[in-house]
Structure 1
Amino acid sequence: MFSEGAEEDLMHSHPSGHQMLKNMREDVHNQRELIAAAVERLGKPKMTDEEMREQAMKEYREAKRLAKLEDEEAKGNAEKSAA
């Protein structure tokens, strides 16, 4: 966090420098623990970018196929009612 010289200067230049340094080290340690816990909670992505693109394309194709079927069904119903 600090170079050795800076730590020495802080400890000698300020009456509570040793305590300040100790508190800073504890704060850094606590922040690292919080970050590690957050990273663990987030975990690894379930899918890679490539897998997400492939899944999106599959869903797009399926939606397009279903829309086409619905259009054909609507067209068939319109022809039946016209006849």
Structure 2
Amino acid sequence: MNLKTLIDETANRADETLDGCTNPSEARSILLELLAAEHPELQQADLRKIAEQVTVILTNEGFFESGPGSGGWGSSDDDDESDGLAEDE
């Protein structure tokens, strides 16, 4: 099993699997439980590595700052649109 693929897939599902999670430590614990249930064939060291890498990715993306589904990205897009309207007028 390719760990990089599992890291990417797990990070992509973060909004649904970590709903309400507010810090990286809590996320790691949740991810370890989830991964152990979904992939019992993996060694504990691999599970920890995946959970840690997913947490790093999410931290770098600001997941724990804005929270899942907060619309932080949409806010900047809205600002861009209003700027464009002001220029057209």
- What TM-score, normalized to structure 1? 0.31
Quick check: which one's helix share is greater? 1
The structure with higher relative contact order (CA 8 Å, sep 6+) is: 2
Bigger radius of gyration among the two: 1
